[in-house]
A and B are shown apart, each in its own frame.
Chain A
């Protein structure tokens, strides 16, 4: 009997205008989206390769010691799921404001839009009159009068309705997946296809949730017009209002110092305060050397310390070099002086960096707390949960920023010691090597972007997926409760 009711539900939905509209909309928009986003992906990949090449070219010609830090920025390739999900632009906070501004005003269409807006609306339009429509037509009391358990009817409506709803969705996804698989510019490996399958599973959970919501509203309404209005009201709240408002509300509930203020504090610590501390330590070194070396120190001082501390004229710098070459004792003092001044500045840098890191760490902790509040608030909306699942699974969400920063940090642990060694080697070969000198770093370690392991992503998304499943259960139980008491006359 269950299968009979399910097939009846499927058939009546498929023969309805709704199905045709949904099918046409899904297939056209999905295929158009995938084609356009794939094209964008190819453009972004070409852009990324160009940036990497230009960076290499710049470093091969202008890798002066004081410029390397500014040029060694790790470049992130476009996400492999970019043909499906746009996500957040990496440079959202760096103001590539001179690019086309329209995608900022109207966030583009992608897979997330298709699922969260189109499919959710379609699901509600399929289900809002599942009970009320049958009651108004008079068929519901005929079905009930045949001693079919209400639970079975409800379950059959849910399965049949969701199955017919998923037909256009799966068809459009298959078309999109086919386009991606035959495109030579997109190379998806096993893990990418596994993520894609999980994405489809999450989408099915989300779509069935909204079908159940419509079904639930239908069991609490007498008329289809009331049901559709309630459904649309809830849809606006859950899809448009709650996700958009919650981040701003959480910012008001849990205030944190602005990132600008913290940046200024850190800048002050690492700049002005650091300089003052460095000068203080350096003066201690000067006092110590004055006591220790006496006359030759005075000579060194009259030569403006050869430029190793404070300003120095070119003549004095040259004279220092000549004196060091002629007098081994003088040279030993200069070398010791250089080392101790470097140590003084290293110590000043370390102390100030620790202070700056503490402030940044405090802020990061507060930001994490605020983000947690925002996430917890937005979890009221199934849309937000699905977006977290989809974006974190595909590496296109906020989590991917943290992962990229971590990868960048790991690369830094390889690169900066390498640079330090290179500078020391260069200074050994040429004592006059200084900040404006060119450094050949063509053999440097290169940044290679690796995708986050699927296991880690799954660990992160399971709680939100669990909430979606919970919503499904709650709506079904509520629909069951509503239908058990429903007056079918």
Chain B
């Protein structure tokens, strides 16, 4: 009986105008969105390759003691599917001798109009269009049949209500999958037509498979929700109003309002304020230690019968050599204390800021998980390397690159500062033994996006919630349908 009911649902739905309207929508939007995203990715990739090439050409051999090496972040291949945070992520990490690496983004945006209107990628199509289509398919499956009078005929045929409900969900789900799968395959063909992307590459397939599964799960959730909405109303007009309310709240309202509530409940200062405060703290500490170092140098010069104004950069007399030697020994402690204090001060500011930001983000994420679309968005954007965890991932990559450059360049230079600023600076720089400046080059940053296993480990709550939503909506629909007046 279930099979017959499912077949009936499939036939009925495919003969409905809605099926053709939704098919047209999917066949236009999903491949077009993929084409636009593919072109956008190709442009970003070309920019990245150009930047890296120009940098290596002009600055690749600059391995001096104060070099600020630049490591570039390649665009994520899967960002074609979900642009997410990619336009706002830094393009490069810049190292420094002091040990602090900073992020930088090229100024300007190539397409500012897109900021006004939003994205046109796969995730957008699934979150908005496919979810709306699922609700349009199903919103009056129960209430509409009741109005037509066919529902009471079915019930009077001693068919179990649970079977009817299940048949409606399965039948409509299978029908909705047809245009989606055709459109998706067309999109993959368009993607594969690119010279820089291969759909069969090992970097793409595993994540793509998981994205497809998550999408199918979301579609099932929305179909169940649509059927559930239908069991809550007795007429098509009421159903459509309820559909409208549910879609606005679930797809648009909750995900958007959650970060706002989190910001209102747990406000934090912006990144710019933290950066400014860090800069001032650093300047204050370094200023204090530069003064101490100058005093130490003065003391050493005086001890050996010379003055800091007269002493040469390269010591000539024994007294000058002894003064430098004593300063070299005693300044190490000051240097290391200065670096430690700067690093501690900045780390504290950063850590405070990050902790508070994480609390705020966590609050927003947990609030938004009331909507199944949010769960899908976190999973898909996480798999595509454009999710909420990517900023931290960038920092991890940047710090790793800093260590790499430190080992390859900074540790091969010894820099001693005897006097800063007025009247004349006195800084000595020399290479360590075995370091050949002419043969060395700036290392490249090997950027690693979050692996799939880690994304799934972090996103298990979202996967679980998608299953829970399915069960919840089915349970509510089942309970409601069992009390539904079919007359």
Contacts and interface: CB of A to CB of B under 8 A. Distances in A.
Contacts of A259: 106-110
Q: Classify chain A: how many residues form its interface, as a range.
A: 35 or more
A260 B280 contact: no
Contacts of B258: 102, 106
Contact residues of A: prevailing secondary structure: helix
B252 interface: yes
Interface in A80-116: 88, 91-109, 113
Given A58-B276, A93-B105, A95-B88, A247 B111 contact: yes
Contact of B85 (A104, A125, A236, A374): A104
A272 B54 CA distance: 13
A224 B270 CA distance: 51
B272 to A, nearest CB: 6
Contact of A240 (B129, B136, B257, B313): B129
A245 B361 contact: no
B431 to A, nearest CB: 18
Interface string B18-35: 100100110011001100
Contacts of A224: 236
A109 B245 contact: no
B213 interface: no
Given A97-B88, A248-B36, A106 B368 contact: yes
A37 interface: yes
A468 B140 CA distance: 34
A244 B269 CA distance: 31
Given A54-B277, A105-B381, A106-B256, A272 B58 contact: yes
Interface string B358-369: 001100110010
A387 interface: yes
B270 A108 contact: no
Contacts of A388: 116
Contacts, number: 278
B25 A233 contact: yes
B241 A105 contact: no
Contacts of A51: 272-273, 276
B18 to A, nearest CB: 6
B283 A58 contact: yes
Contact of A236 (B58, B120, B132): B132
A240 B119 CA distance: 10
Contacts of B85: 97, 101, 104-105
A314 B89 contact: no
Interface string B69-107: 000000000000000110111110000000000011111
Interface stretch (A39-47, A350-358, A443-451): A39-47
Interface stretch (A159-167, A174-182, A250-258): A250-258
Interface of B: 17-18, 21, 24-25, 28-29, 32-33, 36, 39-40, 43, 46-47, 50-51, 54, 58, 84-85, 87-91, 103-120, 124, 128-129, 132, 136, 236-238, 240-241, 244-245, 248, 252-253, 255-264, 267-273, 276-277, 279-280, 283-284, 312-313, 353-354, 357, 360-361, 364-365, 368, 374, 377, 381, 387-388, 390-391, 394-395, 421-426
Given A244-B114, A244-B124, A248-B114, 5 more contacts: A51-B272, A62-B283, A95-B90, A100-B259, A100-B262
12 contacts: A36-B264, A50-B269, A58-B279, A94-B105, A97-B85, A97-B89, A97-B90, A99-B271, A105-B388, A263-B107, A374-B111, A398-B112
